Amino acid sequence: MNELYATVIFLFVLFLLLGSSVWIGLALMGVAWVGMELFTSRPAGDAMITTIWTGASSWTLTALPLFIWMGEILYRTRLSQDMFRGLAPWMRFLPGGLLHTNIAACTIFAAVSGSSAATLTTVGKMSIPELRRRGYPEFMIIGTLAGAATLGLMIPPSLTLIVYGVTINESITKLFMAGIIPGLVLASLFMAYIMAWHFFSKGPRPDPEPPMSFRTMVAESRFLIPVLMLVTVVIGSMYMGYATATEAAAVGVIGALSLAAAQGSLSWSTFSTSLMGATRTSAMISLILMGAFFLSLSMGFTGLPRALAAWIDSMHMSPLVLIMALTVFYVFLGMFLDGISSVVLTMAIVEPMIRQAGIDVIWFGIFIVVVVEMAQVTPPIGFNLFVLQGMTRHEISYIAKTAVPMVGLMLLMVVILVIWPELATWLPDNIRTRPGG
C-alpha cells in the first residue's frame, strides 16, 4: 500500500510539473524533492547536491558533449554535398535509384553525429532539393528521410546509448558495439522498402540517370573518403580496444576540426557557433540526467523499484511478454516525450524489472533505442516531424503519414531483435574494451 501511495504521489507531481511547462530536468528534480520530503528522513538538499555532483562528474559522461560537438562541427561543413556527390553514382543502379542516398547518407552521418536531428538536417538540406529536381515522388523523399534519420540514435556514437549507459552504469563502448549490426540491419530494411516501392508501386517514376563511366564513378567516390576515414578512426579505435568512448570522442572532435579546416569551412564563426550549439545541447541533456539521478535515489528510498520488480516476478511474466508490454509502453510514451527523456524518466523503474526477468541489459539498450526511434516520427511530439516541416513546409499530418511505413519497419526490427538477440550481443561479447569505456 505504501508503494501504491508513493506511485500516485510521484505521478501526480510529475504530470503537474510537466503540464505546467516546467523543463523536464527541473520537473524530475521537483518530483524527487517531494519524494524525499514525504518518504524519507534524509535532508533533501544534501541528497540532491551529493547525487547530482556524483552523476554529473562521471568520466564516461564526458563523451556526450564531445560527440555532440563533433556532429555540430561537421554539420557546418560541406559534408552533406560531398556525401551526396560521392554516393549518387553507386546508388543509381539500385531499384529505387537515388532514394537510397537518403538511407546511405544518414547511415554514414549517423556514425559521426549521434543525433537524429543533426543527421536529418545535414542530409536533408542536400538530398531533398536534389531528389525533387530529379522527379522522385515527394511522399518517398520525405518518408525515407524521416525514417533513415532515426539511425542517428542507433549507429554509434549514439547520444541515447550514452545516456542509457550512464544511467544504468554500463560500458558505453559495449553499447556502441551492440548498435552497429542492428543499425545496419535496420538501414537494410529501409532500403528493401524502397526496392519494394520500385517494383510494386504503380505511381510515376523519375527519368533514368544519364550514363556514367566506371572511372568517373570511382573519381566521384573520393568525396566520401574524409568522412569514412573519420568514422573508421572513431569507431575503429573503440572496436580495437585502443580507446574508450570518451577518448574516441576527443579524437573525433580533432578529426572534425581538421576536416573542416581542410574543406575551408573552419572559421572563427563556425568554431564558436558549433561550440555554443554543443554546449546548449549538452546542458539540456545533462540537466535531464541530473534530475534522473536524483529521482532514482528518491524512488530507491521508497522501495518502489524493488516492489515493482517483485510484482513483475510474482506475475511469472515471461521475458517475451514483458518486452511486448514495454514496446507498447515506450511507443505510447514516445508520443509525448523525446527519446532521451523517455529513457532517463523510466530507467529507475524499468532496470530492476528487466534484470529480474533475466533480460540482457546490453540487448535491452538496443531494444529501447529502436522503440525510442519511433518517437522521433510519431505525432504529436515527433521531433523529426517538426524538423521536416521546417525544411519542406508540409503539414505535420502529411509528414507523419509518409513515415508510417518506416515505423512499421522499426516494429519489425523489434521482432528481429527478439528472434535473433545475437545481432546486438555478438560484438560486445567478442571485443576487447579498455576499462572506463
CB atoms under 10 Å from CB of 202, counted, come to: 5
Q: Give the C-alpha separation, 288 to 26, whole Å.
A: 7
Q: What is the pLDDT of residue 127?
A: 82
For residue 63, name the pLDDT band (cuts at 50, 70, 90).
confident
Alpha-carbon torsion (250, 245, 377, 224), positive or negative: positive
For residues 205-228, give the mean pLDDT: 76
pLDDT of residue 435: 52
The SS3 of residue 115 is coil
Instruction: State the pLDDT at residue 337.
Output: 66
3-class DSSP assignment, residue 41: coil
Cα–Cα distances in angstroms (integers) from residue 142 to residues 22, 99, 325, in the given order: 32, 10, 30
d(CA 433, CA 425): 14
Q: How long is the chain? A: 437
pLDDT at 366: 92
Asked if residue 253 has pLDDT above 60, the reply is yes
Residue 310 pLDDT > 70, yes or no? no
Closest CA to 109 of 29, 21, 227, 26: 227
Return the higher-pLDDT residue of 286 and 422: 422
pLDDT at 2: 59
Average pLDDT for residues 377-383, to the nearest whole number? 70
237 Cβ neighbours under 8 A, 6+ residues apart? 243, 247, 248, 251
User: Residue 188 — pLDDT band, cuts 50, 70, 90?
Assistant: very high
With cell 514495454, the residue in question is 326
pLDDT value for 381: 62
Closest by Cα among 399, 376, 326, 358 to 139: 399
Structure confidence at residue 181 as a pLDDT band (50, 70, 90): very high
Q: What is the pTM of this model?
A: 0.78
Q: What's 61's DSSP letter?
A: G
| pLDDT above 60: residue 156 | yes
- Three state DSSP letters for 330-389: HHHHCCCCCHHHHHHHHHHHHHHHHHHCCCCHHHHHHHHHHHHHHHCCCCCCCHHHHHHH
Q: In angstroms, rounded to a whole number, what is the distance separating the alpha carbons of residues 383 and 385?
A: 5
Mean pLDDT, range 338-343, rounded to an integer = 73
Amino acid at 236: G
CB-count exposure of residue 134 (10 Å: 0-12, 13-18, 19+) = middle
pLDDT at 40: 75
To the nearest whole percent, how much of the chain has pLDDT over 70? 88
pLDDT for the residue numbered 427: 86
**pLDDT at residue number 55:** 67
Question: Mean pLDDT over all residues of the chain?
Answer: 80
Query: Which of 234-238, 357-361, 371-375, 416-420 tops mean pLDDT?
Result: 416-420
Q: Is the pLDDT of residue 27 over 90?
A: no
Residue found by looking up cell 518530483 in the block: 31
pLDDT-based confidence at 193, cuts 50/70/90?
very high
CA–CA separation, 138 and 129 (whole Å): 11
Ordered DSSP codes for 246-266? HHHHHHHHHHHHHHHHHHT--
Q: For residue 377, what is its C-alpha cell?
A: 516520427
Query: Model confidence at 202, in pLDDT bands (50, 70, 90)?
Result: confident
Structure confidence at residue 116 as a pLDDT band (50, 70, 90): confident
Give the span between the Cα atoms of 147 and 167, in whole angstroms.
26
Give the three-state DSSP class for 281.
helix
What are the cell numbers at 435?
A: 576499462
In tens, the pLDDT along 81-95 reads: 677 778 778 777 888
Confidence of residue 418 (pLDDT cuts 50, 70, 90): very high
Q: How confident is the model over 187-192, as a mean pLDDT?
A: 93
Q: In this predicted structure, what is the pLDDT of residue 80? A: 63
Sequence-distant (≥ 6) Cβ neighbours of residue 257 within 8 angstroms = 73, 266, 271
Query: Would you state the pLDDT for residue 318?
Result: 81
User: What's the CA gap between 63 and 437, in Å, rounded?
Assistant: 10
